[in-house]
Amino acid sequence: MTLYLMRHAEAADLDTEGKLRDADRKLTDKGRRQAKRMGLLLKQLDVQFDQALASPYARARETAELVVAATGSTVKIRTLDELKPTARDNAMWEALFDIGGEDVLVVGHLPSLAGLAGSLLGSLADQPLWFHKSSLAALHCEMRDNRKPRVKLEWMISPAMAKRFAMRHPASSHSSMQKE
């Protein structure tokens, strides 16, 4: 199994009047560009998902939708409460294990996403991988009988790296994705 762990793209700030709940914050224009750009990069890398999972928070669902659409995939996005920002890594892993799949996109939040990565990689640090908004890490998980898998970090890409790639390969990316 390969897990593609992604932090949601840039979202609107909470308003000062408290009219917008954290769970309802949607992506900014920049966030939509970040998500689309990451999806286009995944398409260039020939990454296809057989599962796409997202936190029920609006910004995570929207990020997943844009990434999946940019790859050209038709996979349906499932939301999981276990992917909320305060989720525990064991609960997240159990939910992912139960759903299964070979190539699984997981869109979530900090600190839970970093906690899951740390737990799977066997790190004692709270957040061994720093997920900037729209960052994506590919973790190869070698499944073992009734135990946590052996996990190897295959690669990690930040939104800045994805932007540089898009600027160097304009034929592979839509030109509106290049500006910020």
pLDDT in tens, 5-49: 999 999 999 876 666 789 999 999 999 999 999 999 999 999 999
**Residue 105 clears pLDDT 80, i.e. is over it:** yes
Evaluate if residue 171 carries a pLDDT over 60. Answer: no
Cα–Cα distance measured from residue 52 to residue 36, given in angstroms and rounded to the nearest whole number: 15
The model's pTM: 0.90
CB atoms within 10 A of CB 175: 9
Query: SS3 of 53, please?
Result: strand
Domains of the chain: 2-10+23-177 (3.40.50.1240)
What's the CA gap between 23 and 68, in Å, rounded?
Answer: 21
Contact 146, 135 (CB under 8 A): no
Q: CA 128, CA 137: separation in Å to the nearest integer?
A: 12
* Separation of alpha carbons 66 and 167, rounded Å: 20
Residue written as token pair 């139960």: 98
- Choose among 42, 6, 32: nearest CA to 162: 42
55 versus 15: the higher-pLDDT residue is 55
Name the residue among 25, 20, 5, 107 with its Cα closest to residue 66: 107
Report pLDDT digits (tens) over 57-97. Answer: 999 999 999 999 999 999 999 999 999 999 998 899 999 98
Give the C-alpha separation, 32 to 61, whole Å. Answer: 12
Higher pLDDT, 126 or 157: 157
Contact by Cβ (8 Å): 150, 118: no
What is the 3-class SS of 69-98, one letter each residue? HHHCCCCCEEECHHHCCCCCHHHHHHHHHH
